Amino acid sequence: LPECLGRLESRSAAGRALTRLRELRPGCALNWHRSAWNDAMRLIPEHGVTNAHSDGIWSIDWAPNGTIVTGSCDETIKTWSRSSGEGINNVHTLSGHKLGVLSARADPSSDVIASTSLDSSVRIWNMATGECLADEEHGAAEVWNVAFGRDGLLVAAGGGRHNVKIVDGKSAKQLGVMEVPAAIQSETGKKSERFVLSVAVSPNGKRVASGSMDGSVNVFDVATGKYLHKCEGHAMPVRSLAFTPDSRVLITCSDDMHIHMYDSEHGSLIASLSGHSSWVLSVAPSPNGSSFLTGSSDQSVKLWDYHNRICAHTVNQHTDQVWGVAWHPEGTYAASVGDDKLLCTYETSTV
């Protein structure tokens, strides 16, 4: 056993250490497998901005150029710079929404931000200047969440029919709708339970997924706009979902306190994970696919080992529910926001 631990500590990459441990002492590798991965994957609190907004922060994204984007109940979107030496600094404050900002996302292929609000509008912003480029209303509660796909494809979630809107990434105008068949919709009795809360586009640009109040998760084909399948398992609202970097797995989180992993191609449930003690509000896979983050109403942020399907580390920097988590594009840092108005960044140590 001491020999095993010595070898584990002397390796810079836990994965190589575990491989060597299996060769030397299969039993030891088995016994220490879980703790070795837990020690290798950590979130180390780095910077914190208290009162980053004047009200709860409901959304966060990390743009490819390193800009952090946050959206708040205070009706504003803010962009931030981050560096190890200078901390986190506000660059622009984007004003114009008339009610709380539900979602603010950076386009991975251009220098723009898309936002949705309780005022039922979608706005497009220039990230570099903070200028509003477009503002389009979409009807009461018709745009709850937004996500960018490839080549500026913009999809928006909202409304009471499980449907997802396709929105122009420049004008913010509606281009089309991805519809759930009537027979599938009828499986949910109340219209309010069909309300779409979350949306995601797969990195390969082929799939769109949405999560609803009734716990249903629906998947659509981007090329045809057609409904593909339903992912079953959640029994309560699905407030966040995301595809893994290889687009093969869809990770969802729900008020039922569970995180689910689905085969995105067929909709079959791969795994159901638990660990949070209250609603799970946000999820974000790491850029290299080795881990993912979740934020919860239990005020914690958890780092999960994707391959071993265990919680590797938990941090408790927040004092209220955590609405958003995000990764730096290189995966070296992570961030979280919540109703406590705190913006927090972390150094990451992942295999």
Mean pLDDT of successive 10-residue stretches along the chain, which has 351 residues: 35 38 34 47 95 98 96 98 93 97 94 95 96 91 87 81 87 91 67 82 95 94 94 95 98 98 96 97 97 98 96 97 97 97 92 49
pTM of the model as a whole: 0.86
Model pLDDT, residue 118: 94
Model pLDDT, residue 73: 97
Query: CA separation (Å) from 133 to 52, 77, 147, 285?
Result: 24, 14, 17, 30
Distance CA 323, CA 16 (A): 35
Model pLDDT, residue 350: 61
Model pLDDT, residue 153: 84
Identify whether the C-beta of residue 314 lies closer than 8 Å to the C-beta of residue 325: no
Q: How many CA atoms lie within 13 A of 231 on its CB side?
A: 31
Dig out the tokens for 258 from the structure. 């569970």
Model pLDDT, residue 190: 58
Distance CA 71, CA 121 (A): 14
Model pLDDT, residue 312: 96
Q: Report CA torsion sign: 106, 339, 192, 210.
A: positive
- Here the contacts of 46-49 (C-beta below 8 Å, separation 24 or greater) are 46/84, 46/333, 46/344, 46/345, 46/346, 46/347, 47/82, 47/87, 47/88, 47/344, 47/345, 48/317, 48/342, 48/343, 48/344, 48/345, 49/80, 49/87, 49/88, 49/342, 49/343, 49/344
Model pLDDT, residue 198: 95
Model pLDDT, residue 35: 43
